[in-house]
Structure 1
Amino acid sequence: MERWHNRVAVVTGASSGIGAATVKDLLKANVVVVGLARRLERMEAYKAELPADQQKRFHPFTCDVSSQESVDKAFDWIIEKLGGVDILVNNAGIFKMGQAVTLDPVQLQQMVQTNVMGVVYCTQRAFKSMKERNYDGHVVIINSVLGHAIPAKPNSGAPVMNVYPPTKFATTAITEVYRQEFRGLKTKIKITSVSPGLTDTEIVPDNIKTGELPILKTEDVTSCILFTLSTPPHMQIHEITVKPLLGE
């Protein structure tokens, strides 16, 4: 991780869960980190608990990744104040329980806008910053095992995942699109998808977290992020899938 010392990483969805854990691990690795999230107070609260040297390198900023205007405002500030973006961790995502055939279309659209277009908005700005500075940065997308296969459980009733898996399938596809585009545009910018299984975060309903299903910790996912960032420049990890040991 030495080559990332004092470089600038942007982490979306940084107010809790995998995003907050990623911020803390990157700060420990001597990276300058901008946390983007709607809940600024959450980020300010855990910033106050960090060691003094890490506090100086952490910059919380209010941002709703589903809004291009909000993303542009955040990235304009980052470029003006910090000079550019070297690492992007696209972590922000939402999940609403219900069936696709009955759930409020507004909620369905919110998932698509956040989980898919949020990645697009942020990656466009990060890529532009990297390419303009001729810097070989790294884009990480927090995907899901549901972006590769949708489990079918006979006799278990109608599933409640609705369009969440399709948004993650889109993430899987766009990871490959970005790989081809980054290469075709003559850059050495890396792209990696990290696909966790069930993870203990706020978007997972309590009845699932308190059940008998094996579940990952957020730190299990951040260890994958730091691993892929630590690889040598000539090596790209396209996909990391991580599941609980006894999970499906």
Structure 2
Amino acid sequence: MHRWSGRVALVTGASEGIGEAISRLLVKHDMKVVGCARNLDKLKAIDGELKKEEGGSFFPIQCDLTQRDQIYAMFEKIKTHHGGVDVCINNAGMAYPSSLLDGTPEEWQKSLDLNVIALCLCTKLSVQQMKERGVDDGHIILLNSMGGHRLIQGSNYLHFYAGTKHMVKALTEGYRDELRQKNSKIRVSALSPGLVESEFVVRLFGDDPDKGRKVLQTTPCLKREDVAELVVMVMQQPPNVQIHDILVRDTDQVK
């Protein structure tokens, strides 16, 4: 990770869960981490804790990634204060506990806006900032899901979410192909974890968070730090090695 020392990483959904774990670990590896989320208070609390530790630095930015004007404004702030993005980690995602036949257009649109459109826009703007500064060794990392590779029969409440993640699987290959066509050495990688012990599962069940907690208590799952360590592993590969996608789950996870 030495070559990333002092360089800028954007982590979306950084206020909790996997995004928080990634942010903390990259700061320990001496990176400048721009963490964005809607909850600025949580981001500031993380910043306060990280200031007491050795390593890089953490810069909170409040941003609702479903609002495109806020994404553009965030990238302008990054350019003004930090020069631009060297690593973009698209971590933010959401799901609604509705089956395909019971879901609403409003739920589908919000899921697409965050899981797909925001990911695409953050990736596009990150690559633009890299090119503007002549950065040709940048890295785009997309947090996909095992749900982007298979469906669990009977888990109706995850079907639309899995649909958005299947899009991320296709987008990963699309970005790799387009960058290769431009003879760019910017790398694109995806991580596809199974169940992870994080707030995502609790929020998934909305009005019944106890149901999400029960899932975490009764189902083998990865720690959020496990996924963060994989991000570092992907980033520290030599320039000629591009890890395309990692499918990872707890050893005891059944499906």
TM-score normalised by the chain length of structure 2: 0.92
Structure-1 separation of matches of 2:235 and 2:112: 27
Residue 229 of structure 2 corresponds to residue 237 of structure 1: no
The one-letter code sitting in structure 1 at the alignment partner of 2:110 is Q
Query: Which of 202, 212, 218 is residue 199 of structure 2 equivalent to?
Result: 202
The change in CA–CA distance for 1:83 and 1:173 in structure 2 (over 3 A counts) is same
Give identity over the alignment, percent. 36
Question: Which whole-Å deviations, capped at 9, do the CAs of 1:145-181 have from their partners, x for residues lacking one?
Answer: 000011224xxxx621131000000000000000001
Structure-1 separation of matches of 2:75 and 2:247: 29
8 A contact 2:111–2:161 mirrored in 1 = yes
Stretches (4+) displaced over 6 A: none
The offset of 1:55, in angstroms, is: 8.6
TM-score normalised by the chain length of structure 1: 0.94
Query: Which of 166, 176, 182 is residue 173 of structure 2 equivalent to?
Result: 176
Question: Which whole-Å deviations, capped at 9, do the CAs of 1:127-151 have from their partners, x for residues lacking one?
Answer: 0011122211000000000000112
Question: Which whole-Å deviations, capped at 9, do the CAs of 1:21-64 have from their partners, x for residues lacking one?
Answer: 00000000000000011111101012112244659721000111
Aligned residues: 243
The aligned counterpart of 1:94 is 94
Structure-1 separation of matches of 2:191 and 2:143: 5
Residue 123 of structure 2 corresponds to residue 123 of structure 1: yes
The aligned counterpart of 2:153 is 152
Question: Which whole-Å deviations, capped at 9, do the CAs of 1:83-102 have from their partners, x for residues lacking one?
Answer: 01100000000111011211
Structure-2 separation of matches of 1:222 and 1:140: 11
Query: Which of 157, 179, 183 is residue 186 of structure 1 equivalent to?
Result: 183
Q: Which moved more, 1:93-102 or 1:52-61?
A: 52-61
The offset of 1:224, in angstroms, is: 0.6
8 A contact 1:18–1:219 mirrored in 2 = yes
The offset of 1:210, in angstroms, is: 2.2
CA-atom RMSD, angstroms? 1.4
Structure-1 separation of matches of 2:2 and 2:18: 22
Structure-2 separation of matches of 1:47 and 1:55: 12
